[in-house]
Structure 1
Amino acid sequence: MPSTPHSYTAASFKTVAIFAKQKAGETSHSADDITQALTQIADFLTATGHRVIFGAQTAERFQLSGEIMTLPDISELADVAIVVGGDGTMLGIARQLAPYDVPLIGINQGRLGFMTDIAFDDMMPLLRAMLEGKVVSETRTLLQGSIYRSGELMHHTLAFNDVVLSRGSGSGMIELRVHVDGLFMYNQRSDGLIMATPTGSTAYALSAGGALMHPRLNGIILVPIAPHALSNRPIVVPDSSEIEIEVVGGRESNVNFDMQSVASLQHGDRIVVKRSEFTITFLHPEGWNYYDTLREKLHWNEYPSVQGQLK
């Protein structure tokens, strides 16, 4: 359940970790642009008395010098992490930092940026104000997913956006049996099933016809992917629920977690999904609100003018 937002001051951010990733299809800026931005951020932080640590992969990818550590070491030291990238980069960092309660600031150099919401060109004045404590904080929930085969735990991991069961390439529909809190909900023939957090409701779940969920809602949305029966509709269950899915039919199928880790499934496999004990805190610029983000990212503010309609 999302908790009460933290209160931050300039003294809250003594040690700052910096991460970035240039991933095919995710970036809208060149590697040189990103390198320059990372150097600019680090120089500013150092000049204002902060300790700066680069993630090892970030330092290697962009040929950066300074204090460099692996993510497990950083997680023990950082007071805040700045993530320069798209939502995919943020997903990966957030999942790894979730157990350590390190708040995240996202600078968008990607395509959409629901989670990395600070514009690349506006970052410096906003970062200055945020690191002085002028922030809006919000807490997001995660899911934990476990795969069981013949009663044995095969895989366990976290998901920030969603856990997705889907058919393999070239195969027909799969059949799933779904229980919630031990109660039978339905058998479903479809191309798959998405279980998403409120954060993930703006990702694959939205494309598949799911509803937008405000981040403060305590729910998990289940969205069928191209179901055989049109009566199979998205449903939101309490995030205190334990969802169990059994693969009972179809050819190939798999399950992925935030599209970043994938496991192949067999008939009889059970996937158990529930809210994780960990949460993630996002820090936004002062004045930020969720509805502004929706309007900007979903282009809700783009509509014909009255003058145009009259013509």
Structure 2
Amino acid sequence: MRVVGVVFNPNKSEALEVCDWLLASLQKKGIRVIVPEQYAAAIQRPDLAVNDAEFRISINAAISLGGDGTLLGLAHFLAGAEKPILGVNLGQLGFLTDVELNALSQGIDRLLTGQYKVEKRTMLEAIVVRHGEEIKKFIALNDVVIAKGAIARLIRLRTYVDDQFVTMYPADGLIVSTATGSTGYCLSAGGPLIHPTLPVTVIMPICPHTLNARALVISDHQQVKISVQAGHSETLLTTDGQRGINLQTKDLIIVRKAPFVTPLIKVSGRDYFEVLRTKMHSGGNADG
């Protein structure tokens, strides 16, 4: 591990303080640290600044300081580069991050000595087709969401899996989620908890105006097509809550497994179910 990239949430004062400590700690251990230009400006370290392309090419691993949103943004930034990410939780829940602040020093030592594993997390690709032409392509680690805006009207979404008609959802929206994203918006909408290593995709309606709409779990090799049958000017598509586009009636959205993954570094040794118990405050322990 020779070159480590660092990003952080510039809106969190704690992240700036932790970043200062982390940079000094890594450099003391002989590691070259680089930071994207826009982040280097926030901590007044022009000596560490590199452009986006150099950051993606040069790093052996990246460290994210913040919450899940910071890590998701980094996953988008590094999409296709196959560079592993270590998430340090400075947020609230932090399902995607692996290291808590009080264990950061130990976690860095484990990272630099190779005492970690890497989980390859599936990503989604969402393509927006309008009047028969592709107008936009997005990627997502957690989810692709089609939802109405502030106007309180239902939207109607005709949904297909591998070109086979599933149903027409009259709803506030629809979530197409990876297994990783099952602890995100999908969970809030009433979706199932799914182990993040399972090769599945979840289709979850948001507040459907029907009694029989439930989450649908399919193989991640299957393709989802969603046709906006009735929408309005505030119908939106967003990916991981990060990027998006306004949709129009008759737009077609194609969601499929992306051709690359997000590698997440695991140094804490905590298993998935321990994380669930901790983050969701469920009780019990292995000894009864």
TM-score (norm 1): 0.88
Q: CA deviation at 1:301?
A: 2.7
Amino acid at match of 1:34: A
Q: CA deviation at 1:72?
A: 2.2
Q: Does 1:163 align with 2:144?
A: yes
1:54 corresponding residue in structure 2: 35
1:190 to 141, 164, 171: 171
1:289 corresponding residue in structure 2: 271
CA distance in 2 between partners of 1:35 and 1:249 (Å): 45
1:20 to 2, 8, 23: 8
Q: CA deviation at 1:40?
A: 1.8
1:228 corresponding residue in structure 2: 209
CA distance in 2 between partners of 1:120 and 1:261 (Å): 28
Q: CA deviation at 1:215?
A: 1.0
1:272 to 254, 261, 274: 254
For 2:10, what is the secondary structure of its paired residue? Answer: coil
Q: Is the 8 A contact 1:239 1:274 kept in 2?
A: yes
The worse-fitting range, judged by mean Cα deviation, of 90-99 and 286-295 is 286-295
Q: Does 1:173 align with 2:154?
A: yes
CA distance in 1 between partners of 2:202 and 2:92 (Å): 25
Q: Is the 8 A contact 2:122 2:262 kept in 1?
A: yes
Amino acid at match of 1:21: N
Q: CA deviation at 1:70?
A: 2.4
1:97-142: CA deviations, max 9, x gaps?
Answer: 1211100001111111111231112201221122101112211000
For 1:41, what is the secondary structure of its paired residue? Answer: helix
2:20 corresponding residue in structure 1: 39
1:256 corresponding residue in structure 2: 238
CA distance in 2 between partners of 1:250 and 1:101 (Å): 37
CA distance in 1 between partners of 2:39 and 2:283 (Å): 36
Q: Is the 8 A contact 2:129 2:251 kept in 1?
A: yes
Q: Does 1:114 align with 2:95?
A: yes
1:146-173: CA deviations, max 9, x gaps?
Answer: 0001101111010111000111211310
For 2:257, what is the secondary structure of its paired residue? Answer: strand
1:130 corresponding residue in structure 2: 111
Q: Is the 8 A contact 2:231 2:248 kept in 1?
A: no
1:202 to 175, 183, 194: 183
Q: CA deviation at 1:286?
A: 4.8
RMSD: 1.6
**Paired-residue identity, %:** 33
CA distance in 2 between partners of 1:171 and 1:150 (Å): 27
1:189-242: CA deviations, max 9, x gaps?
Answer: 011100000111100000000001111111100000010112011011110011
Q: CA deviation at 1:284?
A: 1.4
2:63 to 55, 71, 82: 82
Q: CA deviation at 1:35?
A: 2.8
Q: CA deviation at 1:250?
A: 3.6
For 2:78, what is the secondary structure of its paired residue? Answer: helix
CA distance in 2 between partners of 1:65 and 1:20 (Å): 16
Amino acid at match of 2:9: K
1:309 corresponding residue in structure 2: none
Query: Number of paired residues?
Result: 285
Structure 2's unaligned 5+ residue stretches are: none
CA distance in 2 between partners of 1:34 and 1:163 (Å): 28
Q: CA deviation at 1:55?
A: 2.0
Q: Is the 8 A contact 1:130 1:286 kept in 2?
A: no
Q: Is the 8 A contact 2:37 2:49 kept in 1?
A: yes
Q: Is the 8 A contact 1:145 1:157 kept in 2?
A: yes
Q: Is the 8 A contact 2:98 2:267 kept in 1?
A: no
Amino acid at match of 1:80: A
CA distance in 1 between partners of 2:226 and 2:214 (Å): 16
Amino acid at match of 2:276: L
Structure 1's unaligned 5+ residue stretches are: 1-12, 307-311
CA distance in 2 between partners of 1:104 and 1:72 (Å): 17
